[in-house]
Amino acid sequence: MSGEIVLLPLAPVAFGAVAGAALTAVAVVAVGSVTIAAGGALALGLKSVIDKRVSSAAEEAKTKEKEIKEWWDYQEQSARKMSALWENHSALLAAQQELLKAGLNERRKDVVGTGPTATGYFTLGLDRAIAAREAADGMLKEINEILAGIPHALASEADSPVPNLLAMTEKLQRKAQSDAPPSLETIEAFRRTVQDTIRTYAQTCEKRQQTTQSLMPRLEKLILEAGTWQRLAATRELASGMSSLLSNLKVLLLKGRISLAQVETMEKRLATLRTKIEAKLAENAYRTALAESLARNLGSMGYRAVSDFAEDREGREMRAELAIPGGEALRVGVTSDNRLTFKVVHTMVPGEKDMSAGQKKMYRAQEKKWCQDMRTLLRILAKEGFTYGILDEKTIPDNIIPKAVLEDVEGILARRDEEQRWAIEGDEADEMRRRVVLDQKTQEREA
């Protein structure tokens, strides 16, 4: 007789990449990127349970789709507005540049000697000096107005050249008022630099916008998948990792500027986390199915649930307690590595201290009953795909028999009734059993 028993899975149970050649006795089914190797019908059953959970989580995640859709609408509207602003600005810039060039030529018609060697406009004489200064001031003013007219969204980008160009324009404007102003050729060269720089920046912005728009569907898919798997994360570590990923994805969405490298990095992170969550989900589904099978089959054998299976605080073991037919209790555990642990526990009424001899006999009888029932349970579990063998069994000495105090009135009364049946101790009990045996033999002879 053994009051403490540990059972070990005999059939391979695996969650992850599994070599098919080594699994001739089991079924292999895929759940996302994870394979489950277990008893045939069991593996399919686990897949069904997991698929339903994933489907349920996906439906829950879709409740956030409207919110995401609103962000997409916002981004599309922003993109359209930005495109319209840029097109208007480009057209305006082209017209202004043409006017600027024509105005400069007009202003320079009667202005000579204003090349790089000029030391000041007034060396040209008063009239030409005034014309040269007006040409320079007009040119720089128009450049400043063109740059200031660029939409703030474009001008404020981290790689925008606009702030630097504005600073350079203001510097030239100040210098134009000094005794050594820049030559008109210098200002014209600066205008061309501004024109070329803005054109290049416009092309960069257009390419960036096209890239963002092409990557938006992938970003939307990432957000929805991350929301789904966040709901399925079974550990704090996995939930935290998925929550962090989801936050980063939303930041990208709000920013409205996405690169291919960013999306690919996020996809890799999601794939890694998803694989871990799927594996944990498969493990938990197996343990849940095993716990359900234990509770159901022990219940059919007359064992009454005192407490249902529940995980401990660390999430390392699922535990339950059942009443053995006859009075004592059975503590059952399903460990994180799928081992089964059983321990027969003496149930006491409040105020009870030491066990009497009768109670000890009762405990040993219950212990014996459980050992017999355990072998029946093993056969039933095997039929359902859970093949287990005995790893360890121990007889618990009288002085360390585990105890549990009954708290419900019904349990206390039932316990007292059961103990009365075991109140006869020592020789009286032996004599009673001897008489029962003699009576049975007498009846057999008479028959």
Q: Is residue 24 part of a domain?
A: no
Please choose, from the candidates 309, 301, 327, 311, the residue with its C-alpha nearest in 3D space to the C-alpha of residue 415.
Answer: 327
The larger pLDDT score, comparing residue 136 to residue 442, is at 136
At residue 232, the pLDDT reads 81
Q: Are 322 and 330 spatial neighbours (Cβ–Cβ below 8 Å)?
A: yes
Return d(Cα 431, Cα 426) in angstroms, integer.
9
Q: Is residue 238 part of a domain?
A: yes
Residue 220, burial from CB neighbour count under 10 angstroms (0-12, 13-18, 19+): middle
Identity of residue 31: V
Q: Which of residues 253, 268, 300 is at a domain's end?
A: 300
At residue 48, the pLDDT reads 64
DSSP 336: T
Return d(Cα 100, Cα 137) in angstroms, integer.
12
> pLDDT averaged over the chain?
72
Please choose, from the candidates 61, 38, 56, the residue with its C-alpha nearest in 3D space to the C-alpha of residue 283.
Answer: 38
Q: Which of residues 300, 329, 353 is at a domain's end?
A: 300
At residue 45, the pLDDT reads 57
Q: Which of 2-16, 93-107, 319-333 has the lowest mean pLDDT?
A: 93-107
- Asked if residue 338 and residue 364 are part of one domain, the reply reads yes
Return d(Cα 28, Cα 282) in angstroms, integer.
12
The larger pLDDT score, comparing residue 57 to residue 23, is at 57
- Asked if residue 347 and residue 252 are part of one domain, the reply reads no
- Asked if residue 260 and residue 171 are part of one domain, the reply reads yes
Which tokens sit at 72?
């997409």
pLDDT in tens, 354-410: 788 888 888 888 888 998 999 999 999 888 888 888 888 887 887 777 777 665 545
Which tokens sit at 312?
């401990």
At residue 256, the pLDDT reads 66
226 is in which domain, residue-wise?
A: 67-300
- Asked if residue 320 and residue 291 are part of one domain, the reply reads no
- Asked if residue 98 and residue 120 are part of one domain, the reply reads yes
Indicate the pLDDT class of residue 84, thresholds 50, 70 and 90: low
Return d(Cα 23, Cα 31) in angstroms, integer.
17
Q: Which of residues 282, 300, 318 is at a domain's end?
A: 300
pLDDT in tens, 3-36: 788 888 876 555 554 333 333 333 333 334 433 3
Q: Is residue 99 part of a domain?
A: yes
Give the bridge partners for 14, in sequence order.
Answer: 37
pLDDT in tens, 330-356: 999 998 888 889 999 888 777 777 788
Percent of the chain predicted with pLDDT > 70? 62
Q: Is residue 327 part of a domain?
A: yes
- Asked if residue 210 and residue 116 are part of one domain, the reply reads yes
- Asked if residue 280 and residue 396 are part of one domain, the reply reads no
Please choose, from the candidates 219, 230, 213, the residue with its C-alpha nearest in 3D space to the C-alpha of residue 265.
Answer: 219
At residue 427, the pLDDT reads 45
Based on the structure, what is the number of domains in the chain? 2
The larger pLDDT score, comparing residue 52 to residue 359, is at 359
pLDDT in tens, 253-294: 777 678 889 999 999 999 999 888 888 887 888 888 888 889
- Asked if residue 348 and residue 255 are part of one domain, the reply reads no
Q: Is residue 29 part of a domain?
A: no
- Asked if residue 295 and residue 417 are part of one domain, the reply reads no
Please choose, from the candidates 25, 47, 49, the residue with its C-alpha nearest in 3D space to the C-alpha of residue 36.
Answer: 47
Mean pLDDT score, 236-261: 84
Does the pLDDT value for residue 303 go beyond 90? yes
- Asked if residue 132 and residue 226 are part of one domain, the reply reads yes
At residue 197, the pLDDT reads 84
- Asked if residue 325 and residue 243 are part of one domain, the reply reads no
For the question of whether the overall pTM of this predicted structure is more than 0.75, the answer is: no
Does the pLDDT value for residue 298 go beyond 70? yes
The larger pLDDT score, comparing residue 133 to residue 290, is at 290
The answer for 63, left when phi > 0, alpha when psi is -120 to 50, beta otherwise, is alpha
Cα–Cα distance list, 239 to 5, 15, 256 (Å): 35, 20, 26
Q: Is residue 41 part of a domain?
A: no
Q: Is residue 339 part of a domain?
A: yes
- Asked if residue 366 and residue 247 are part of one domain, the reply reads no
Please choose, from the candidates 385, 314, 342, the residue with its C-alpha nearest in 3D space to the C-alpha of residue 4.
Answer: 342
pLDDT in tens, 156-179: 778 888 889 889 999 988 888 877
pLDDT in tens, 176-225: 887 777 877 788 788 888 888 887 887 787 787 788 778 888 888 888 88
At residue 121, the pLDDT reads 54
Q: Is residue 34 part of a domain?
A: no
